[in-house]
Chains A and B, each alone.
Chain A
Amino acid sequence: MLRAVRLTFVEVKLFAREPLTALFSLAFPLFILVVMAGVFGNTPDPAGKVWDGVGPMDYLVPGMLGLVMASIGFISLPIHLAGYRERGVLRRFRSSSVPPWSLLLSQACVSAMIAIVGGATIIGLGMGLSGAHGPVSPLGVLVAFVISVACFISIGILLGALMPNVQSAQSVGLAIFFVSEMTSGVGPPREVMPDTMQTIARAFPLTHVAIALQDPWIGRGWNVIELTIVTAIAVVAAVLAYRTFRWE
């Protein structure tokens, strides 16, 4: 346990020293947020159809929280782990008998911290920039946030376990991230997408995470079904990640 704490502390320091990586994890979601705020503002669709009838930014800000997590889980975390493997950092840890779980736990802690900082930035910017409203059920959003972060950290570690090197982690991660971003309702609204696209979107975890976050935010209460799906994805990914994790 002490080892995991020490590793986490070191990883946080290293992350703080790598401002570019930090920026990259948050830059894209923030960029989309700013663009969306400029394009849609926060005036609800008069017909009440698009954005579920709420202000576009009220709908997008909680979704963007999911996008920050997705950028960590699909991109930064797998690249980081694959890089450690490729460069022989994992090899060095392994020969000192660092147990895999303490290494993975430290990665999870750092990722959670980035998600919290990124989430706070998204909320602050979203509410400040476009007059988005705060969450109707803060507790519901908090619960969804915690479960969703756990889900994307598991996915990130799983991808990091499966990807043999940085290059493949980059290509695969970016591809999943962009498809997710376009289909999960955190960019173009779900309602304007054709049915088949909406069906495909349901195969991506970000869709479920986004709805789980949006529902308590805009006042539709806790979405237990989506929370359950997100939890299930988290557990399956975590088990697979632990079983497929390789040092070399």
Chain B
Amino acid sequence: MPQTQPAIEATGLRKTYGPVVAVDDVSFHVAEGEIFGLLGPNGAGKTTIVECVQGLRSPDAGRVRVLGLDPETEATEMRRSIGSQLQQSALPDRLRVWEALDLFAAFSPSAVDWRGLMTVWGLEPISGRAFGKLSGGQRQRLLIALALINDPRVVFLDEMTTGLDPAARLATWDLIREVRDRGCTIVLVTHFMEEAEKLCDRVAIVDAGRIVATGTPQGLIAEEPAGVRVLFSAPAAADLAFLHTVPNVTEVMRGGTSVEVEGSGPVLALVAAALVEHGLVPPDLRVDRPTLEDVFLRLTGHSIRD
């Protein structure tokens, strides 16, 4: 738990659209300087949650504070200190990249040098290109740069790596970490497990309008009862009974030459050591750890891609 006032506090958020309950009793807090992820499938209510937090939608019930401010009654003051890359937001088709940065910098009293942002986010080579002619990835990078233009204390990034190729995605993660290292709090909305696992300090798993679990990615994975699986090949005749005596091993399964050892914690190192001790050095020794994907599947009963 954070010692200081949290950057974001949401308590008992609820939002319905007619008979559809989009967000149901959602509570979470985000500490300053944290990268917090809202992870869940499309339609889970993540976007509605961040829109309520930013005061772009008004929740039917619940309380939100961003940097101690009420997003509904103190919206203008709050927006000065937050940056936002929203889904389904766009710029006029004929507006050029540099003009967009220049214009939005003019909107903010605390604007950073937009030329610097243009360099950092790789927009320099396309600075004269019109928004309507940008590729999906280029648009996304421009919209992220615009979200950072007012030197915000909290940034909301909604599916920020959509449309980016894998290399650009990795580069974006690095840049986001740098933003955080400068003291910015980041709220990430994603349906992308790997992004949540690699980038977020803490995640809230959202499904059907509710938060079903909150914690660090490692913490959530560690609670996963499926545990760690160590896989390798061994001659069918080899005697592997010794594996049962290795600490942390819970189960050994064999099928022909392939062996699967299930266990927990540092089971890989322990199994490897035991194998070497018994003269076995399988060239294909590998480990299969549970991921957030498994956590999600266990908590919700369905895959995030369903």
Among the interface residues A87, A94, A95, A248, which one has the most CB atoms of the partner chain B within 10 A? Answer: A95
**CB neighbors of B among A41-63 (8 A):** none
Let me know if A92 is at the binding interface, CB within 8 A.
Answer: yes
Contact A88 to B88, CB < 8 A, known contacts A10-B95, A96-B107, A97-B76: yes
Contact B106 A3 (CB under 8 A): yes
Q: How far is the CB of A98 from chain B (nearest CB, A)?
A: 6
Is B106 touching A88 in the complex (CB atoms < 8 A)?
no
Those of A205-220 within 8 Å (CB) of chain B: none
Residue-wise, chain A 1-33 has the 8 Å CB interface mask toward B (1 for contact) of: 011001100100110011000000000000000
Q: Name the interface residues of A165-205: CB closer than 8 Å to any CB of B.
A: none
Q: For the complex, is B90 an interface residue (Cβ under 8 Å from A)?
A: yes
Known: A14-B92, A88-B86, A89-B91. A95 touches B79 (CB 8 A): yes
Quote the shortest CB–CB distance from A160 to chain B (angstroms).
15
A14 x B94 contact (CB < 8 A): yes
CB pair B80–A97 under 8 Å, yes or no, is yes
Which residues 80-102 of B sit at the A interface, judged by CB distance below 8 A? 80, 84, 86, 88-92, 94-95, 99
Contact indicator B150/A92 (Cβ below 8 Å):
no
A91 within 8 A of B: yes
A87 lies within 8 A of B76 (CB): no
Cβ of A152 within 8 Å of any chain B Cβ, yes or no, is no
A222 touches B (CB below 8 Å): no
Q: What residues on B are CB-neighbors of A145 within 8 Å?
A: none
Size category of the binding interface on chain B: 20 to 34
A residues in contact with B88, CB < 8 Å: 88, 91
Q: Which residues of A contact B94 (CB under 8 A)?
A: 14, 17-18
- Indicate if the CB atoms of B89 and A88 lie closer than 8 Å: yes
Interface string of B110-147 (1 = CB under 8 A from A): 00000000000000000000100000000000010010
A interface, over-half SS? helix
Q: Which residues of B contact A84 (CB under 8 A)?
A: 92
Please tell me if the beta carbons of A97 and B75 are within 8 angstroms of each other in the complex. Answer: yes
CA distance A89 to B86 in the complex (A): 11
Complex Cα–Cα for A103 and B91 (A): 14
Task: Assess whether B257 is interfacial by the CB under 8 Å rule.
Answer: no
CA gap between A91 and B56 in the complex, in Å: 9
Q: Is B103 an interface residue (CB 8 A)?
A: yes
A89 partner residues in chain B, CB cutoff 8 A? 89-92
Residue of A with least CB distance to B75: A97
Contacts A84-B92, A96-B79; is A10 near B103 (CB within 8 Å)? yes
Given contacts A88-B86, A91-B86, A92-B86, contact A98 B107 (CB under 8 A): yes
Q: List 29 A-B contacts (CB under 8 A).
A: A6-B106, A10-B95, A10-B99, A14-B92, A14-B94, A17-B94, A17-B130, A87-B90, A88-B89, A88-B90, A89-B91, A89-B92, A91-B88, A91-B89, A91-B90, A92-B86, A92-B90, A92-B91, A95-B54, A95-B56, A95-B79, A95-B84, A95-B86, A96-B79, A96-B104, A96-B146, A97-B76, A98-B107, A248-B56
Hey, which bits of chain A sit against chain B, CB under 8 A?
2-3, 6-7, 10, 13-14, 17-18, 84, 87-89, 91-92, 94-98, 248
Contacts from B to A (Cβ < 8 Å): 54, 56, 75-76, 79-80, 84, 86, 88-92, 94-95, 99, 103-104, 106-108, 130, 143, 146, 150
With A88-B86, A96-B79 already in contact, 8 other A-B pairs whose C-beta atoms are closer than 8 Å: A2-B106, A13-B99, A14-B92, A17-B94, A91-B90, A95-B89, A96-B108, A97-B75
Closest 5 CB pairs of A and B: A97-B79, A88-B89, A92-B89, A95-B84, A17-B94
